[in-house]
Structure 1
Amino acid sequence: MKKIGLLVLLNMLAIHHTIMAQSEKNPFTLVYEGAITQNVKGKVNIHPVTYTLNGLDIAANVYTPANYDAAEKYPTIVVAHPNGGVKEQVAGLYAQRLAEQGYITIAADAAYQGASGGNPRNVDIPQNRIEDIHGMADFISQYKGVDSEKIGLLGICGGGGYSLKAAQSDKRFKAIATLSMFNSGVVRRNGFMNSQVNTIQERLKQASDARAQEAGGGEIIYAANGPMITEEAALNNIPFELYREGYMYYGKTHAHPNSTFRYTMSSLLYLMTFDAATNMDLIDQPLLMMAGSKADTYYMTDEAFAKATHAKNKELFLIKGATHIETYWKPEYVDQAVNKLVDFYQNNLLNESL
């Protein structure tokens, strides 16, 4: 036991060193390839901002396009980050790439997560995440240069599921896109690919007990609170590619000190009754859903897309050869996704009268 404990500690220290080294390379702590390192006049710029949502300080990055003029009007995209992710990772990458195409974009850390306020830390309640998306629209619609009639939405992974929910009621979003959509509630309830159906009641009991302990002023209990796994031998024992590649992305190659897999156990009381694919018929805006052709999460996109019976100009786009996590960073797959997004927003946000 002592030897195992020492190895875990050494692994955690090594990961922490990697995380800090990566974040310190960039003054905005961005960890994706090609990230902005300084604001240069006439080029895409990044603007860290803070705003208040339901009494909490929300930390966000706004990207403005080259030669941005506050007196002009620009189409704008709200970007919602994955579960456990932060604005400096894949959400920032896509926000920057879209800004390079002439859009104002915003990526914000979810309430209770990342650099945003809220205690206890790492609460992961679906309604909070949906409210975060509404809140980004509130803030960015008042930002100088934003055309409030041309606001689009992009949700990535868990942020994709929450974006579908937000768009069902929030018609400020004129065009909706998702990338590698992850239906957080269904997975937390049934397990990935229904691998935990037999333990639903047991896990609900754990969540209920955790809530009772919090209410009594006791210690906050967290789920998924173990160390990041990055050793190849250990990764090979994980049955799902999503999690194997996710550990490497979040724990090593694109690690950020504010990013974590853990969430409060009591959050499961809300997560396990949530389903991103319900009420999809309420989406009447243009809809693009993208997923890697080799992604083991593709079934979630497929199910939700089929239920979007009233969506306008809806399209399912498969990124050939990509897994779920590879759509976050691999240049050839990111390029495919960005090109498709640009075409989608051009046709459904800029050119079409909505």
Structure 2
Amino acid sequence: MKKIYLAALLTLALGVAGTAGADPYQSNPYSLVYDHAITQNVKNEVNIHPVNYMLHGVKIAANVYTPANYNPAKKYPAIVVAHPNGGVKEQVAGLYAQRLAELGYITIAADAAYQGASGGNPRHLDVPYYRTEDIHGMVDYISQYAGVDTDRIGALGICGGGYTLNAAKSEKRVKAVATISMFNSGRVRRNGYMDSQLNSINERMAQAAAARAAEIKDGTVSYSGNVDFDALSDESIAKIGTDLYREGMLYYGRTHRHPNSTFSYTTSSLMELMAWDATDNIELIDQPLLLIAGEKADSLYMSEEAFAKATGTQDKELFKVPGATHIKTYYVPEYVDQIVNKLQGFYGRTLK
């Protein structure tokens, strides 16, 4: 398979990943890499349940979290949690899924099809249709889970929350929608991060089309966004000019590395990504909507745009976490606690 290395801005916009250096995932039987992660299922506490299910012929790997004293004969609200671009369920998606389970929700965090521990070939497709179907698929599965009240299902999208917004336009089984550090993949792949690549849109689209042609001709799959984290020095990371990319390198490449998390995506995916936008038809969202983003995040503009365009609901809020950047909403206790408290109030009110 051919590897294509793009400029840092395009590369880092996906998130980061690699093979674990300190092997934190190996110390946890569920390979979770967030603080206070479950290491064993203890009676009367929050439990984790690795599950698999099929979605359009692809085997999906997911974790279901059940609340303390879970009783399948009772009825619980549920929340589907979608992971960031380049991330996997064992990282920040698992953190928030566990924290919400501590509040009494049944939650599910699944690896996207063609990514992580889920099946599907070629690997690392990042196509809006499939990423949106991932969320529909989580709703399908959790709706059948023992104890779930199907009238009280919410959705949470982290970073790649643009896909959760897209799903919510038609996913009326979801009664409340929230995002954390929302990243509009279509806009960034098309325009560049912070609209930095407006003068090369057609050129990059042509490269994506050429990559697809090669796939069809002889099966050669080209990949973009490859990063060798072991070859990157801390000094070179420190020189990265944006908080999202600099802190993302440290989060995914150093402190929260996981072997299933990868920067890489098929170059041909850009054909779909660059022609797509999470805010197109966003007025179709008529459910309660909460957009959470760091006050100091350089990705804040994407949540602000989505909030302004989401005219289909009057029950909406843009909550800016004081002092937080994009990546710090993933793991810094001070910010995570604030976000969980905000989510508790939001879902508690909208999923009664």
User: Normalised by the shorter chain, which TM-score bucket?
Assistant: over 0.9
5 Å-filtered alignment, 1:207-222, equals 207-222=208-223
- What is residue 122 of structure 2 aligned with on the other side? 120
| 1:270 alignment partner, SS class | helix
- What is residue 169 of structure 2 aligned with on the other side? 168
Contact residue 19 and residue 258 of structure 2 kept, 8 A: no
Task: Count how many residue pairs are aligned between Structure 1 and Structure 2.
Answer: 335
Percent of matched pairs sharing the same residue: 64
- CA distance in structure 2 between the partners assigned to 1:344 and 1:151 by the alignment: 13
- What is residue 313 of structure 2 aligned with on the other side? 311
Normalised to the residue count of structure 2, the TM-score between the two structures is 0.93
- CA distance in structure 1 between the partners assigned to 2:173 and 2:71 by the alignment: 23
1:154 maps onto 2:188 in alignment: no
| 1:170 alignment partner, SS class | coil
Measured after TM superposition, the shift of residue 16 of structure 1 is 6.5
1:250 maps onto 2:255 in alignment: no
- CA distance in structure 1 between the partners assigned to 2:257 and 2:81 by the alignment: 19
| 1:288 alignment partner, SS class | strand
Measured after TM superposition, the shift of residue 93 of structure 1 is 0.2
List 4+ stretches of structure 1 deviating above 6 A. none
Deviations 1:34-74 (A, max 9, x none): 00000001000000000000000000000000000000000
- CA distance in structure 2 between the partners assigned to 1:279 and 1:189 by the alignment: 18
- CA distance in structure 1 between the partners assigned to 2:88 and 2:46 by the alignment: 20
Gaps of 5+ in 1: 1-14
- What is residue 337 of structure 2 aligned with on the other side? 335
**Partner AA of 1:332 in structure 2:** E
**Partner AA of 1:66 in structure 2:** A
Gaps of 5+ in 2: 1-16
- What is residue 199 of structure 1 aligned with on the other side? 200
Contact residue 230 and residue 247 of structure 1 kept, 8 A: no
- CA distance in structure 2 between the partners assigned to 1:204 and 1:261 by the alignment: 20
Deviations 1:83-129 (A, max 9, x none): 00000000000000000000000000000000000001001001100
- What is residue 12 of structure 2 aligned with on the other side? none
Contact residue 79 and residue 153 of structure 2 kept, 8 A: yes
Contact residue 143 and residue 150 of structure 2 kept, 8 A: yes
Contact residue 290 and residue 346 of structure 2 kept, 8 A: yes
| 1:216 alignment partner, SS class | helix
| 2:35 alignment partner, SS class | coil
1:326 maps onto 2:325 in alignment: no
Which of 31, 48, 51 in structure 1 is aligned with 2:33?
31
Alpha-carbon RMSD across the aligned residues, in angstroms, is: 1.2
CA separation of 1:76 and 1:16: change in aligned 2, threshold 3 A: closer
5 Å-filtered alignment, 1:262-277, equals 262-277=264-279
Contact residue 20 and residue 256 of structure 1 kept, 8 A: no
Contact residue 168 and residue 282 of structure 1 kept, 8 A: yes
- CA distance in structure 2 between the partners assigned to 1:313 and 1:17 by the alignment: 42
Measured after TM superposition, the shift of residue 230 of structure 1 is 4.8
Per mean C-alpha deviation after superposition, the further-off stretch among 18-27 and 287-296 is 18-27
Normalised to the residue count of structure 1, the TM-score between the two structures is 0.93
- CA distance in structure 2 between the partners assigned to 1:19 and 1:26 by the alignment: 15
